[in-house]
Amino acid sequence: MNPKEAPEIRAQTLLELRQQSDALRVITEKLRVKEMGPADHIRTKHEVKAFVESGDLKTAEALIMQATERTAATQTVSHPVSQSQQRSQGLGQ
């Protein structure tokens, strides 16, 4: 499996994970918040905390959708930047 691709996470999985003592950390890792921009990272962590406290299925589904969109948006934005950095480094050699 490609490390850039996350295994599909389901709302039921989040409901099970929220029972763990370190649920916030585990769920944020599953949602790949470290791959998001700083604002999205913080926003998602707050949403995960609210989900862990509520345990609502609809909240879990919305959380997964939003996290997926944020991660994809960050990767879309960072991809062209890294290509231009590679080109400028190649010119400097």
Residue 86 within any structural domain of the chain: yes
pLDDT tens for residues 76-85? 765 555 555 5
Q: Sort 70 into a burial class: Cβ within 10 Å, 0-12 / 13-18 / 19+.
A: buried
The end-to-end CA distance of the chain, in Å, is 34
**Distance of alpha carbon 80 from alpha carbon 26, whole angstroms:** 30
Number of folded domains in the chain?
1
Give the tokens for residue 2. Answer: 């490609």
| Domain contains 1 | no
43: tokens are 């926003």
Q: Can you give the residue range of the structural domain that contains 33? A: 11-91
Place of tokens 């480094």: 89
Tokens representing residue 51 in the block = 């989900």
2, part of any domain: no
Q: Does a structural domain hold residue 43? A: yes
Residue 21 belongs to some domain of the structure: yes
- Residue indicated by tokens 């930047």: 81
Q: Two tokens at 54?
A: 């509520």
Q: Which two tokens stand for residue 48?
A: 């995960």
Q: What is the pLDDT of residues 4-54, one digit of tens each?
A: 444 578 999 999 999 999 999 999 999 998 888 889 999 999 999 999 998
**pTM here?**
0.70
